[in-house]
Amino acid sequence: MKKKNSTVQLVKHKNNYLKDKKIKKIYKIFKNILFKHIKYESFCIGVSGGPDSLALAYLSKIYSKEFKTKYRVLIVNHRLRKESAKEAKEVKSILLKERILSKILKWKGETPKSNIQSNARQIRHGLLLKECYSLKIKNLILGHQMNDFIESFLIRLFRGSGLKGLTSFNQVSFLNKNNQKIIRPLITIKKKDLIYISKKIFGKYIVDPTNFNEKYLRTRIRNHINNFKSDGLDINKIKLTIKNLQIAEDSLDYYFQKSIQKYVRQINQNKWLISNKILDQESKEIIFRATGYVISKVGNTYYSPRGKNLQNLIEKMRNTKPLKVTLGKCIIERVKNSFIISNEFKI
């Protein structure tokens, strides 16, 4: 597909706001979910300029006024496309018209050349969480909606993800590091309803051209979903499947937590230990989760290593030969009856 330039969708602006029944109904859902998780605490929101995040910005503004809470609006310039800097300034301008102040965060590291969408997510989340930490705010609010929820489930299904991966796109994700959490209060809202809000409030929104590029799996999944709807695809049945899987996931998580207490020990911030007894006394799934958890903690990464890489590591751990390998910004080394996991950049 030919690459498109970023465009702005223009529509007539009407100042109806919460007098609009649809917007009022969506705000009520948003408010109830957000209050459940943060109440009167401060929060940051990530805004990309798409209709989902612009709707999030407006709903957050109303919530802040109603509950007298402080919130910060953050825009990420990931520098993955030449239009990125211009788009970030455009988003800032769009928000300012509704008196919503924002700050642009710029990625200064090396631009990824592969797995671009996955790396872009990690860059965004990393920058947003780092800024939250510097502001002493533990709540990060993102604009993921129902369509994202379904797409992410199917993407992970295509990639052969395990139970945890298939159910990890939750309304709330708790991050042990810095006691932070990511909240997705729009996850039950359809994208078309957020487009409605964005058009109604801001009169425009940014369209990311990569959303139409079929070299990305998410785009192909989205197109498949649209095609399957005409064949009777029932989104509610997919949601029910995810809910049932989540029940099983909660049970497994209970045993995972117990295994961490039994076989894992933190030596210091950059070095953890895993007893090799875990290999003989726990199931494959628990071993997989515990190892990935420790590597993500020591490597200070938002995501665990990819499943295939992690499985290969575990196979090497089962081998009795000397072991010293790197994965997820960590060095994994066999030492007597244990495995030492160290941050490779902070030894």
Q: Contact, 228 vs 32, CB < 8 A?
A: no
Residue 76 pLDDT: 93
Q: What tens digit of pLDDT does each residue of 120-133 get?
A: 788 888 899 999 99
Query: Helical H runs in 135-229?
Result: 146-158, 163-166, 191-202, 217-229
Note the pTM of the prediction, 2 decimals. 0.75
CATH of domain 256-343: 3.30.465
Q: Answer whether residue 8 shows pLDDT above 50.
A: no
Residue 63 pLDDT: 96
The ranges assigned to domains in the chain are: 7-233, 256-343
- Mean pLDDT of the 56-81 span: 93
Q: Contact, 307 vs 161, CB < 8 A?
A: yes
Residue 7 pLDDT: 44
Mean pLDDT of the chain: 87
Q: What tens digit of pLDDT does each residue of 256-301 get?
A: 999 999 999 999 989 999 999 999 999 999 999 999 999 998 998 7
Q: Answer whether residue 152 shows pLDDT above 70.
A: yes
Residue 82 pLDDT: 80
Q: Contact, 24 vs 16, CB < 8 A?
A: no
Distance between alpha carbon 68 and the CA centroid of its chain, in Å?
A: 27
If you write DSSP's letter for every residue of 86-152 in order, what string do you get?
Answer: HHHHHHHHHHHTTT---EEEE--SPPPSSSHHHHHHHHHHHHHHHHHHHTT--EEE----HHHHHHH
Q: Contact, 129 vs 180, CB < 8 A?
A: yes
| Segment among 17-26, 212-221, 235-244 with least mean pLDDT | 212-221
Q: Which fold has domain 7-233?
A: Rossmann fold (3.40.50)
Q: Which residue in this structure is represented by tokens 């590597």?
A: 295
Q: What tens digit of pLDDT does each residue of 195-218 get?
A: 999 999 999 999 877 776 777 788
* 17, two tokens: 């706001």
